[in-house]
Structure 1
Amino acid sequence: MTDQIACTGTDRPTWPAVFAGFRGRCPNCGEGKLLHSYLKVNDSCGKCGEEYVHHQADDGPAYLTILFVGHLMAPLLLMVFETWRPSPLTLFGIFALGCLALSLYLLPRLKGSVVAYQWARRMHGFGNSR
Structure 2
Amino acid sequence: MAGAYVIGFLEGMGAHAYFLATGGLHAYSYAPMPIQLIFHALLLLDPLVALLIIRARPDSTLLAAAVMLTDLAANWDVTWNAVLAHPMAYLRPVGLLPITVFAIFVMLTALPLRRGLRPARPLNLLAAGDV
TM-score (norm 2): 0.29
Normalised by the size of structure 1, how large is the TM-score?
A: 0.29
More helix by proportion, 1 or 2?
2
Higher relative contact order (CA 8 A, sep 6+): 1
